[in-house]
Amino acid sequence: MSTAQSAREQAPALDSTRDEGSAAPPSRTARRVLGLLVLVALLAALAVLSVAVGSRAMDLGQVWDGLTDSGSESYPVVTELRLPRTVLGLAAGAALGLAGALMQAMTRNPLADPGLLGVNTGAAAAVVTASFFIGSFGFGQTIAFAFLGAAVASVAVYLIAGAATATPARLALAGAAVTAAGYAYVSAVQLMDAATLDQMRFWSVGSLVNAHVAPMLPVVLLIGIAAAGGVLLARPLNALALGDATATGLGVDPRVLRVAGILAITVLAGTATAVCGPIVFVGLVVPHVVRSFTGPDQNWVLPYSMLSGAVFLLAADVLGRVVARPAEVQVGIVCAVAGGPFFLYLVSRRKVARL
């Protein structure tokens, strides 16, 4: 048999393989799009449930009256308390989920979370310091101090890691060092001053109950702008996953990408932490679970993590209001109780999703 004839005989098989390969991506894409639609529907249902559930349960008619009729009994409860809380839960959950996905992609470590940049520690250290020197202050001042501390800690981690020469490993080590030093400082100040301990006690648990006094518009705008910028980093992060040298060859500057990523993470996680206090496991568990469904493509991981983070945090908040009614369990505690065992199960029973 001639070489030309052999090639002609193999051609149909190659064409068939090519057709099968081209048919697979649309099927997977359809599954991913369907997953996004399911998440959006679930988020809408949870938002309604969040407005309806509390120490006083409401039916859908009362919720609607509370949204539309300023003279109704349910209006102040729905509009002034539960609706801001729901909006904050959506925004903070989305911010933490996206920040975790960005952090894990930047460090190429599926077990990393935003706290690795010192965001939580910096926020706590700033609030503790302000409380020690100033005394008691309002929730608005708490947000300002916490956000400033988160930003300073992130910059410190980046500089300690070597700034322009920072690598994923050096970022992780610098973050661990700043986090350890920060928590030691926070603990020391709290032990020395009982008033500071009282000021920190409620904020450090992580809660959405102060949503009605939080400056919601600036919070949502900050998170929205940072989220849009973070999602735009998806394609460069896909290139970075191949290694710094390959990313550079594809036209991506790893140093610029890491600066942009750290900035987005700081604004996302810093804003959420400043308003709600440090809430753990959202940024750690959510991206890991998401990748087991979407695969490592950041074009899907980032939006999925954003929606899934909002679902996780809002569901935890609703659960916290139900399990101890008429009192409630703070959302930070619910996330820790639910996220810890679930994450241990994922690590022990399944392979860690590849980045």
The sign one gets for the Cα dihedral 350, 352, 354, 355 is positive
Average pLDDT (99-128) is 84
pLDDT value at 21 more than 50:
no
pLDDT tens readout for residues 107-120: 887 777 887 778 88
- Confidence check: pLDDT of 4 > 70: no
Q: What is the pLDDT of residue 346?
A: 64
pLDDT tens-digit map of 35-69 = 999 999 999 999 999 998 877 778 788 888 788 87
CB within 8 Å of 230: residues ≥ 6 apart: 98, 99, 102, 261, 264, 265, 268, 302
Please compute the mean of the pLDDT values over residues 111-136 and round it to a whole number: 82
Per residue in 299-333, pLDDT (tens digit) is 999 999 999 999 999 999 999 988 887 788 889 88
pLDDT recorded at residue 134: 81
